[in-house]
Amino acid sequence: MSTAQYSVTEAQKSQFAAIYLLEYMINAPKRFALMLEREEEDLEPILEWLLIRDFVQIEGEERYTPTEKGRDALKRFMQRYSDFLTFFDVFCAVDLEEGSFAFANYFDFDTKSSWQAHLNQERWEDLRVAVAAYKGIDPVEIVFMSFVNEERFGRTETGWAFDLLLGSVWDEILNICNAALPIQQLGWDGEDGPVSGESVIQDIVSQGLSLAEQLREHEETPYRKIAHSATDSPDEATLEAVNVLRNAANSFDASPSKPEQWKDPWEL
């Protein structure tokens, strides 16, 4: 059990929900009418939050549209989300006894179901929270990104849900962070004396970096863009934002220091 107790403020919940909705508006793309549909009513406080801060505007007294300030905010977020996809995700399943990664065998599986069955094996430990803590990054942000990547944030098959934006989803995210294996519990007693958890996590990060590089060099990639049910026509902002995700390589190394673009707290 982790000794850390992570938390998230109401302001942070609003910020994370807002960047998720802003990404949806630009990349799906989707323009929400000023008079929201019944299944979209849970979005009203988030759209108002974005409107007050000039990330969206009301166009023709009919619909919400992103502003240039909103597009710039999305670019910053997508750079960090790209790092998540190309760095953190390989640590979602690590065999601590063998020192192996589930993603090392990603291309051995032909179907999504067979790959998922591989991930579901009990030998894997999710070390993304421990790696985030080692790098000095808020694990809440990393778990939020994993929920976005796994399509567990914001929407269900029937539409938008308050619980998946500002409600109970955050209890689940915090439970994952607070129950995660902490760095100090990664240590073990070796033949030449104890091996610290810090040494173990540094070695794991180094191996993960090498694996992530191999995955990027492969013609295909296990990482997908944020999934959407698009209803509107694409625009230049869509192409620009997606290119940030597609082209950016991660900027991490095995040291406990943050990359430059992670040094400032991310905020809208």
| 104 DSSP assignment | G
Determine the residue type at 258. Answer: K
Q: What CA–CA distance (Å, rounded) separates 15 from 8?
A: 11
206 neighbors 253 (Cβ within 8 angstroms): no
Distance, in Å, from the CA atom of 142 to the CA atom of 6, rounded to the nearest integer, reads 12
User: How far apart are the C-alpha atoms of 169 and 175, rounded to whole Å?
Assistant: 10
pLDDT: is 157 or 14 the higher one? Answer: 14
Instruction: Measure the N-to-C terminal CA separation of the chain; round to a whole number of Å.
Output: 33
Q: Which of 259, 128, 267, 134 is nearest to 202 (CA)?
A: 134
Q: What is the DSSP string of 24-72?
A: HHHHTT--EESS--GGGGGGHHHHHHHHHTTSEEEETTTEEEE-HHHHH
C-alpha 162/C-alpha 230 separation (Å) is 20
* Residue 216: per-residue pLDDT: 81
User: From CA 74, how far away is CA 171, in angstroms rounded?
Assistant: 25
Per-residue confidence (pLDDT) for residue 224, from 0 to 100: 52
* Of the ranges 143-152, 212-221, 229-238, the best mean pLDDT one: 143-152
Dist. CA 6–CA 3, nearest whole Å: 10
Per-domain boundaries in the chain: 10-262
**pLDDT tens, position by position, 18-49:** 999 999 999 888 889 999 998 899 999 999 99
> 5 or 264: which carries more pLDDT confidence?
5
